[in-house]
């Protein structure tokens, strides 16, 4: 009970199906009239195959809070997974709640069965044809051979004919298997008979009767003037068939009243029978000649069909646009803005805790599909902003008053991708027509968008982890070079940090602002550790020689720039981006070039030297001067600063070295933080 209102939970599937809707809508209305409130827990499939997707859909039934629900109704005719129905039964019985099984097709472990008696109505239909229309020659098209419902109707058909002394020739009997193609095959056989068709064709269901009417129309055979055709079931499609069928149907307005009374009795604690039966009624109409054909009705039906098709086409385009906009959108505010535009009924979207923060996995039908706390986003028609609240999942929506004060159908869907459940949707549908025409496609589109949102998050996380691995490999390459002396080199860390400081301040200067973008700065800092990677090809004898190098040995050392460029190109092509590859290669290849052209390997001068290499040259020399090597002691920072200043315009780009010297204090902090340690 909520706010003094008794609450019924209706467990259904495919409420977008008009036949399901025709059953649920009158019951919903009848319960409203008795001061009940209804929550419709709906799946978009009938769950028959019990796939991963079906399990994701079925998770919605685990949202039922039996502390507020007074009675449960399961429309088992459309919920076709026995295991799911049994799970609902078990949960309801555990909390001692009455459960009604509407039109069950098999036996379940509990519940009050609500069945339909079709026998009397079908008997009246056949008798009507004999007694009122004086039919003496019949054809009959049954469903599947061995189908219980079909065989019962066939038996009644034969019994009535026998009771009235009407003979039946077996050549006028066939199995239409409840749908059109087998029915067409049966009709081809009937039409080929030289005797001509009998007076009436009795079909075991409406779908086959509609197919028969279409075939007769194509052959120029009139219904009912030439042949009477009858059906059974009273499906919604029959309303658009002309002539309208004489059939047997359930009076669903009366059924709603009938069932709502039983629900009140069960809720009051009365002892209930295990099964209650509601009768079909005979509806005589145009296909037997009892009602006259109406062109006005045809016009209304055609207009209705056209309107539905047009609305459906427009909504298809709308959903395609929504999918296109949401596919790669990761900004939550923009997602909310897009959803506000496309949601046309007051709706709460409630997502599992952590969904918008990268924690979307682990919630399935079998493993707690919904978190205890959910993030509720309110999308009410006409509101410009999305209200966001954290609420207990058991509360379902932020305020129960929205459910008790309104009479709109409240339909609840799971939001999921296959078996992974992300949250749920609570829709205050303006009418059942809205549910049929709109929400099915919207929910499926939203599910697709949620799945893509999660996949994009996962892909970004994977890319980030891969990038971190690549960065570690790059640093490891550089560490391999540095570890070949007697010091645990912090050279890689220091040069990267010096470079980070330098490019930050250079980027503030107008002449470098457009080149040293944040992305370019990141690429340079990431590439800096590889500037000496070519030394891995230099012999330890030459690399760690304690004295002055000979001229030949120095020529060997100079080859590390060419080797570095080659190693980077061979090992990182197709792994790193072209832009990163270019920066890393230029740093390795040109960082020993000098402003005056006296460097190596190509004697470039001035701005012929790439900017990244000119910057690398400054930080590399400063770190070399302030580091201890086998051939020298470390210079004090001030001496190193002085050497750099003296080399401005010869070794170094004056603007770059000037900027470096302007921020000595930050450079000293890095030097102090990353001291070399002798091993």
User: DSSP string covering 627-647, please?
Assistant: S-BTTBPPPPHHHHHHHHHHT
pLDDT of residue 510: 93
Please give the backbone phi and psi of residue 110, each rounded to the nearest 5 degrees, phi first.
Answer: -170, -165
Closest by CA position to 213, among listed 205, 221, 500, 578: 221
Q: CA-CA-CA-CA torsion for 628, 634, 637, 641, nearest 10 degrees?
A: -90
Please give the backbone phi and psi of residue 575, each rounded to the nearest 5 degrees, phi first.
Answer: -105, -45
Closest by CA position to 61, among listed 86, 36, 37, 78: 86
| DSSP reduced 3-state for 354 | coil
Using the 3D structure, point to which of 180, 210, 231 is the last residue of a domain.
231
Residues 438 and 540 in one domain: no
Structural domain count of the chain? 3
Query: Which structural domain range is residue 662 located in?
Result: 483-678
The CATH number that applies at residue 385 is 3.30.450
CA angle, corner 280, sides to 277 and 285, nearest 5? 175
Rounded Cα distance, 441 and 317, in Å: 11
- Give yes or no for a contact between 477 and 533, defined as CB atoms under 8 angstroms apart: yes
- Give yes or no for a contact between 194 and 132, defined as CB atoms under 8 angstroms apart: no
Q: How many CA atoms lie within 13 A of 353 on its CB side?
A: 9
Residues 524 and 670 in one domain: yes
Which residues lie closer than 8 Å to 390 by C-beta, 6 or more apart?
A: 353, 373, 374, 375, 376
Residues 491 and 629 in one domain: yes
Residues 451 and 569 in one domain: no
Residues 585 and 643 in one domain: yes
Provide the H-helix boundaries in 164-244: 180-192, 206-218
Mean pLDDT in consecutive groups of 10 residues from the start of the chain, 679 residues? 90 87 90 93 92 94 94 93 95 95 90 94 97 97 94 96 96 95 96 95 96 95 96 88 92 93 94 95 95 72 68 75 80 84 87 78 86 92 87 89 84 92 89 68 83 74 72 66 56 88 96 94 91 86 81 91 90 80 94 96 96 96 88 89 96 96 95 74
Residues 451 and 488 in one domain: no
Residues 505 and 636 in one domain: yes
| DSSP reduced 3-state for 397 | coil
Identify whether 105 is part of a domain. Answer: no
User: Widest CA span of the chain, in angstroms?
Assistant: 126
Rounded Cα distance, 350 and 42, in Å: 16
Q: Dig out the tokens for 194 from the structure.
A: 């030289």
Identify whether 566 is part of a domain. Answer: yes
Q: Dig out the tokens for 332 from the structure.
A: 């939550």
Using the 3D structure, point to which of 201, 231, 261 is the last residue of a domain.
231
Residues 525 and 647 in one domain: yes
Rounded Cα distance, 186 and 650, in Å: 100
Rounded Cα distance, 455 and 461, in Å: 10
| DSSP reduced 3-state for 5 | strand
CA angle, corner 15, sides to 303 and 71, nearest 5? 140
Locus of tokens 């305020």? 399
Q: Dig out the tokens for 148 from the structure.
A: 């219980």
Strands (E) across 103-137 are located at 112-117
| DSSP reduced 3-state for 238 | helix
- Give yes or no for a contact between 283 and 248, defined as CB atoms under 8 angstroms apart: yes
Residues 606 and 660 in one domain: yes
- Give yes or no for a contact between 580 and 527, defined as CB atoms under 8 angstroms apart: yes
Rounded Cα distance, 293 and 224, in Å: 10
Closest by CA position to 156, among listed 119, 182, 128: 119
Identify whether 360 is part of a domain. Answer: yes
The count of other CB atoms within 10 Å of the CB of residue 399 is 14
Identify whether 337 is part of a domain. Answer: yes
Locus of tokens 């250079």? 506
Q: Dig out the tokens for 507 from the structure.
A: 């980027």
Using the 3D structure, point to which of 231, 259, 288 is the last residue of a domain.
231
Q: Dig out the tokens for 467 from the structure.
A: 């990038």
pLDDT of residue 485: 53
Identify whether 642 is part of a domain. Answer: yes
Cis peptide before 663, with omega less than 30 degrees from 0?
A: no
In DSSP terms, which residues pair with 99 in a beta bridge?
A: 72
Residues 454 and 487 in one domain: no
Q: CA-CA-CA-CA torsion for 251, 254, 258, 259, nearest 10 degrees?
A: 60
- Give yes or no for a contact between 39 and 69, defined as CB atoms under 8 angstroms apart: yes
- Which DSSP letter does residue 548 get? P
Rounded Cα distance, 321 and 315, in Å: 10
pLDDT of residue 136: 96
| DSSP reduced 3-state for 192 | helix
Identify whether 560 is part of a domain. Answer: yes
The CATH number that applies at residue 131 is 3.40.50.2300
CA–CA distances in Å: residue 96 to residues 55, 90, 93, 115, 488: 25, 10, 5, 23, 72
Residues 444 and 490 in one domain: no
Residues 488 and 542 in one domain: yes
- Give yes or no for a contact between 319 and 441, defined as CB atoms under 8 angstroms apart: yes
Rounded Cα distance, 523 and 568, in Å: 14
pLDDT of residue 679: 46
Rounded Cα distance, 222 and 219, in Å: 9
Identify whether 567 is part of a domain. Answer: yes
Identify whether 449 is part of a domain. Answer: yes
């Amino acid at each position: 009970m909520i706010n003094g209102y008794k609450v019924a939970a209706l467990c259904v599937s495919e409420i977008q199906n008009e036949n399901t809707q025709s059953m649920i809508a009158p019951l919903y209305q009848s319960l409203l009239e008795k001061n009940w409130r209804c929550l419709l827990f709906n799946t978009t499939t009938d769950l028959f195959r019990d796939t991963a997707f079906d399990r994701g859909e079925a998770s919605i039934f685990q949202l039922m809070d039996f502390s507020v629900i007074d009675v449960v109704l399961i429309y088992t005719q459309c919920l076709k997974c026995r295991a799911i129905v049994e799970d609902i039964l078990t949960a309801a019985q555990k909390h001692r709640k009455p459960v009604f099984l509407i039109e069950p097709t098999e036996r379940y472990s509990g519940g009050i069965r609500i069945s339909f008696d079709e026998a009397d109505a079908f008997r009246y239909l056949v008798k009507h044809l004999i007694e009122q229309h004086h039919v003496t020659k019949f054809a009959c098209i049954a469903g599947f051979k061995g189908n219980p419902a079909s065989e019962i109707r066939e038996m009644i058909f034969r019994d009535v004919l026998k009771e009235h002394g009407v003979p039946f020739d077996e050549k006028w009997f066939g199995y239409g298997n409840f749908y059109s193609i087998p029915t067409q095959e049966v009709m081809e056989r009937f039409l080929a008979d030289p005797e001509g068709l009998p007076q009436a064709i009795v079909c075991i269901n409406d779908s086959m009767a509609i197919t028969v009417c279409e075939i007769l129309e194509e052959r120029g055979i009139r219904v009912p003037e030439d042949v009477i055709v009858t059906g059974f079931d009273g499906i919604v499609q029959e309303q658009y068939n002309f002539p309208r069928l004489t059939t047997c149907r359930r009076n669903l307005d009366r059924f709603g009243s009938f069932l709502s009374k039983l629900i009140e009795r069960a809720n009051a604690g009365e002892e209930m029978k295990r099964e209650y039966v509601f009768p079909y009624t005979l509806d005589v109409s145009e296909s037997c000649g009892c009602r006259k054909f109406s062109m006005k009705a045809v016009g209304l039906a055609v207009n209705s069909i056209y309107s539905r098709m047009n609305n459906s086409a427009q909504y298809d385009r709308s959903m395609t646009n929504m999918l296109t906009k949401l596919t790669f959108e990761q900004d939550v505010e923009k997602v909310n803005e897009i959803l506000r535009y496309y949601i046309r009924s007051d709706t709460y979207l409630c997502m599992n805790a952590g969904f918008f923060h990268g924690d979307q996995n682990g919630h399935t039908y079998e493993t707690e599909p919904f978190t205890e706390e959910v993030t509720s986003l309110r999308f009410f028609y006409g509101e410009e902003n999305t209200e966001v609240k954290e609420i207990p999942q058991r509360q379902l929506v932020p305020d129960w008053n929205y459910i008790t004060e309104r009479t709109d159908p409240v339909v609840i869907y799971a939001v999921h991708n296959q078996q992974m459940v992300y949250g749920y949707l609570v829709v205050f549908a303006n009418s059942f027509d809205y549910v049929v025409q709109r929400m099915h496609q919207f929910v499926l589109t939203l599910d697709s968008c949620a799945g893509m949102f999660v996949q994009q998050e996962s892909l970004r996380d994977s890319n980030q982890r891969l990038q971190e691995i690549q960065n570690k490999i790059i640093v490891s390459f550089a560490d391999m070079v540095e570890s070949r002396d007697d010091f645990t080199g912090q050279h890689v860390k220091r040069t990267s940090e010096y470079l980070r400081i330098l490019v930050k301040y250079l980027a503030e200067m107008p002449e470098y602002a457009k080149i040293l973008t944040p992305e370019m700065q990141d690429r340079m800092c990431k590439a800096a550790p590889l500037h000496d990677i070519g030394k891995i090809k230099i012999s330890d004898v030459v690399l760690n020689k304690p004295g002055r190098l000979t001229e030949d040995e120095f020529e060997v050392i100079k080859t590390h720039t060419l080797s570095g460029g080659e190693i980077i190109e061979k090992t990182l092509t197709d792994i790193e981006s072209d832009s990163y590859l270019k920066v890393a290669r230029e740093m390795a290849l040109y960082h020993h070039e000098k402003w005056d052209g006296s460097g190596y390997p190509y004697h470039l001068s001035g701005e012929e030297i790439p900017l990244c290499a000119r910057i690398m040259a400054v930080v590399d020399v400063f770190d070399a001067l302030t580091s201890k090597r086998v051939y020298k002691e470390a210079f004090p920072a001030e001496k190193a600063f002085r050497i750099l200043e003296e080399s401005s315009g010869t070794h170094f780009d004056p603007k770059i070295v000037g900027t470096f010297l302007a921020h000595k204090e930050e450079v000293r902090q890095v030097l102090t933080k990353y001291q070399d340690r002798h091993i």
